[in-house]
A and B are shown apart, each in its own frame.
Chain A
Amino acid sequence: MTGVLPVTLGDATKVVQALLYSGKEYVCVMKLHGDVKIEQVKKVLGEFQDNIYQRPPLRASVKRQLRMRRIYYLDFLEADGRKVLFRVGCEGGTYIRKLCFDVGEVLGSGAHMQELRRTRAGPFVEAGSTTLHDAAYSFMKWQEEKDERLLKGFIQPMERALGLLPKIYVRDSAVDALCHGATLTAPGIVSLDGSVKTGSVAAILTLKHEGIALSRATANAEQILDMKHGVVAKTERVLMPRGTYPKLWKGGKKQHEQEG
């Protein structure tokens, strides 16, 4: 199994959660266990382009309870005898091996997954991926020859991992409080994506587009736009180190005096 595997370094590991839940795209070779007309295969694949139910396989790292996953698209690419090539765009946590098995059940012939390549993990696509060898070489070039050109080409800022999340941009004055885990309130907000939704994860960014925190929104984008005060998002994972921006929030000074 090959393909796009985003690896986070150091403190960027905190954004991994955002990647796990993000959508994926795969190209898959499915092997049918009997002869089936191509038209029939296409029809059944089309039926799986929907919300589907899956129970995680025996060998899985999550609780084995029935769960629903969205298949955004499932495109038949070509067939060669009993081998069927397709591309699938799906929600994070969809098991493609399971999908193949289930397609085989509906076809009546039975089927299994023969080959799989991930072509997208959230915002990361196949076209921009690096091999482990190139990564090692670029790192060596930087460490030993202080040549950082190659390194900068393959290590991307962690903010790239937030690419598909709804985003909220905040004032400089709100940043340090958020770094201390404070909830985000309306006056701190400058702009936001229309896709921000109550109960969903939203990334909080500075006006320089640096990641501050992952949060859970407590209001929809349109509501937030009209709010003068009140909580807008609860901070779940702080990404930025404290003190990157100056401490301008109430209570900060008091705490400082106590320390003194």
Chain B
Amino acid sequence: MPRTAAPWEIKPELLIKTEDATNPSFGCKPEERSAENLVKYGVINLDKPAGPSSHEVAAWVKRILKQEHVGHGGTLEATG
């Protein structure tokens, strides 16, 4: 089979339905979020060390960054 484009190799086309403006009094652009809010609604792209499981690493992040909840995107399987 020939190589197919992975989702990250496809640039979707933006379709405009109508024009509208957003009120700057509400919300906040993600890149302008305060450090406090980043910690509340943030993601860390972690380079997982070898050895501990993905769950263990997530638990460390939880403790080190004093979080109530953390999650991780996809278990990196342990060496068997």
**A contact residues vs B (CB 8 Å cutoff):** 1-13, 15-16, 19-20, 22-25, 46-47, 49-50, 59, 61, 70, 72-73, 89, 92, 95-97, 116, 118, 120-126, 128-132, 135-136, 139, 142, 148, 151-152, 154-161, 164, 166-167, 171-172, 175, 189-195, 206-211, 221-222, 224-225, 244-246
Tell me whether A158 and B42 are in contact (CB under 8 A).
yes
Given the contacts A131-B47, A135-B44, A6 and B14 also touching, CB distance less than 8 Å: no
Residue ID in chain A nearest B16 by CB atoms: A191
Q: Please, how many angstroms separate the alpha-carbon atoms of A47 and B41 in the complex?
A: 42
Tell me whether B43 and A160 are in contact (CB under 8 A).
yes
Interface string of B9-51 (1 = CB under 8 A from A): 1101111111111110011111101010011111111111110
Q: Please, how many angstroms separate the alpha-carbon atoms of A23 and B10 in the complex?
A: 12
Q: Please, how many angstroms separate the alpha-carbon atoms of A61 and B70 in the complex?
A: 18
12 contacts between A and B (CB under 8 A): A1-B77, A5-B73, A12-B40, A20-B74, A61-B75, A124-B45, A135-B64, A155-B39, A155-B44, A172-B20, A190-B20, A210-B28
Tell me whether A12 and B49 are in contact (CB under 8 A).
no
Tell me whether B42 and A73 are in contact (CB under 8 A).
no
